[in-house]
Amino acid sequence: MRIPGVPEKYQLFYSLNPMVHIITAYRDILMFGQQPNWFYLFFITIAVILLLPVGYQVFCRQSHRFVEEL
C-alpha cells in the first residue's frame, strides 16, 4: 500500500502503525463512501486477539507494584 505524503524510505515503518489503517478505514467509509481495506483490519483484529491476553497477564502480574511506583 503506497501512502501519499510519506517518503518512500519510511513507507514500511508508517504502514506498521495500526492506527494508520484504522484511520484510513474510517476515512474511506466516511469521506469517500467506499469499502475499507479488510485485509489490514483483519490483521489488526488478529493481532489484538493475540496480544490482549498477554497484556492482561502482564498487567495482573505487575499490578501489585503500581502503588509503589506512584
Domain residue spans in the chain? 8-69
Exposed/middle/buried for 26, CB within 10 Å: 0-12, 13-18, 19+?
exposed
- Give the pTM: 0.72
**pLDDT tens-digit series, residues 5-64:** 889 899 899 989 999 999 999 999 999 999 999 999 999 999 999 999 999 999 999 888
DSSP string across 34-59: ----HHHHHHHHHHHHHHHHHHHHHH
**Hey, what's the cell of 63?**
499490578
